[in-house]
């Protein structure tokens, strides 16, 4: 006979796939109210990470927790890592961004505390421009490099990304040529 899962166990099941985090919306979908989340946090069973996002301590921390939290912080289903953060995640450049870059839809308005830690970009991405990195939504490599060209990432880091992405098969030759051409145009415009 299977036992009944406690609220904390149900939250842990969600959090395992999200680096230990669960949103209040996800909890509500499981029939767990915000009141229950507040009670669990006050008792020290879960931790409030930011508005609407809780950390489940039974799930081990990972080196990607901050990235997962940034995406969940938005509360936007289309949110993903982007720009310099995505370039760092794909590990095709020596870039080391100071802030976490996330992308949401153009019409999305965020009024959440804690956003000062993030750079929020607004782009309407099509599904093909999104991918996954360690269970976190992220822009795909061609989109990432394109965004970094537009954002003004130094040319040597873009060239490095193009070379490494080609070598590792993350970028097709035609995509690399198109992005290299865009980079060249940017270089001449400045």
Q: What is the pLDDT of residues 73-112, one digit of tens each?
A: 999 999 999 999 999 999 999 999 999 999 999 998 877 6
Q: What is the pLDDT of residues 160-185, one digit of tens each?
A: 999 999 999 999 999 999 999 999 99
Q: Rounded to an integer, what distance in angstroms lies between the CA atom of residue 50 and that of residue 13? A: 20
Q: Nearest to residue 84, comparing CAs of 72, 66, 96, 71?
A: 96
- Which pTM does this prediction carry? 0.90
Torsion of CA 73, 74, 75, 80, to 10 degrees: -100
Q: What is the pLDDT of residues 28-74, one digit of tens each?
A: 999 999 999 999 999 999 999 988 899 999 999 999 999 999 999 99
């Amino acid at each position: 006979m299977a036992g009944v899962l406690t609220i904390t166990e149900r939250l842990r099941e969600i959090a395992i796939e999200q680096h230990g985090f669960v949103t209040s919306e996800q909890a509500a979908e499981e029939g767990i109210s915000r009141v229950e989340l507040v009670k669990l946090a006050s008792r020290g069973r879960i931790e409030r990470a930011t508005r609407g996002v809780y950390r489940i301590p039974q799930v081990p921390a990972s080196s990607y927790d901050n990235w997962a939290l940034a995406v969940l912080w938005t509360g936007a289903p289309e949110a993903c890592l982007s720009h310099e953060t995505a370039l760092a995640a794909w590990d095709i450049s020596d870039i080391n961004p100071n802030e976490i870059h996330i992308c949401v839809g153009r019409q999305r308005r965020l009024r959440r505390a804690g956003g000062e830690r993030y750079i929020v970009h607004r782009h309407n991405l099509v599904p093909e421009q999104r991918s996954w990195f360690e269970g976190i939504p992220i822009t795909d490599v061609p989109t990432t490099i394109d965004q970094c060209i537009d954002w003004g990432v130094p040319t040597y880091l873009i060239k490095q990304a193009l070379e490494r992405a080609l070598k590792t098969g993350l970028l097709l030759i035609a995509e690399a040529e198109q992005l290299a051409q865009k980079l060249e145009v940017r270089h001449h415009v400045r």
